[in-house]
Chains A and B, each alone.
Chain A
Amino acid sequence: MLINREIPAFDLAPIKGSDQGWGSKDLAGQVTIVNFFGSWCIACLQEHPFLMNIKAQKLVPIYGADWREKSVDAGPRWLARYGNPYTRVGDDPKSKAAIAFGVAGGPESFIVDKKGVIRYKQVGPIYAGVWTEKLWPLIQELQKE
């Protein structure tokens, strides 16, 4: 769903404690991962160390959508506790971006090419197998485009 389609236009406000949110325009000109997460989402915590590794190795920028937090403090507290793997984080309390991307559960990740076209959708956590077999080869290919 929405594969090989342009990302929907949207703008996410910053989460509490930050002055920078992000929107569809910020993704232009680079290959990115758009990741939907939430502090309530157990599988997001499972995936989290993997995202931290991607950031540490500077493989690809990850843009986070902090999805449907029960309070404005929950997301920032979660990131402060476990670490922030995101280039930027936006707040999506009412599922505006989540529905625009067709997200049904957390986490979900989208690989977006330089033109802003969604090229892959990963439902559920990113793990070593899917990363080495699918996501990383695709990202490298797209970075050459």
Chain B
Amino acid sequence: MTLKAPSFTVAFALALFVVAPLASLVPSAAFALEPNEILADPVLEARARELGKILRCVVCQNQPIGASNADLAGDMRVLVRERITNGDSDEQVLAYMVDRYGDFVLFDPPFKSTTYVLWIGPAVIAVFGMFAVVSFYRRRKDDGLDMATPNPQAAPLSDEERKRLDALLKEDDE
């Protein structure tokens, strides 16, 4: 009985420190490739797999065609293989798909006139945001709303205002 507890601990430790790290070594991009899709020529097959990582499955949520089980993704994998077998370059295959499905079909959209907003938009928004925050706090200071640091530029009280203030303070004392 005394051996049982330690052996469980050992098994748990093994799972935690040996099996889990090993599992993480397995490439995370799973291949949904059907065995009958694979090309006999290993060079072409390697190219097809690289293209399969670049091309988006257009009916999936953020999955490349190489990792998708969708029917259309399978048909696209087959088409990619057909085209490179018939002598298409990688660029020609990608151009064929972009012609039909737009830049959306590429996981990494190119930087060009129709996509530059996509690329630099977040940076522009971040700069505007910082500018807005800085100017907000500056203005607050200028307005004298920041009580901790009195605004030296604020106009001094007029005689009338001073009289009212004195009266109010006196009221308080009574």
Contact = CB atoms under 8 A, between A and B. Distances in A.
Contacts of B100: 1-2, 99-102
A1 B101 contact: yes
Interface residues of B, number: 12
B99 A99 contact: no
B59 A104 contact: yes
Interface in B27-86: 58-59, 71-72, 75-76, 78-79
B129 interface: no
B102 interface: yes
Interface string A85-105: 000000000111011111011
Give the secondary structure class of B's interface: helix
Interface residues of A, number: 14
Contact of B58 (A5, A96, A104): A104
Interface of A is mostly: loop
Given A94-B78, A99-B79, A104 B102 contact: no
B102 A1 contact: yes
A68 interface: yes
Contacts of A101: 100
Contacts of A105: 59
Nearest to A105: B59
Interface in A48-90: 68
Interface of A: 1-2, 5, 68, 94-96, 98-102, 104-105
Interface of B: 58-59, 71-72, 75-76, 78-79, 99-102
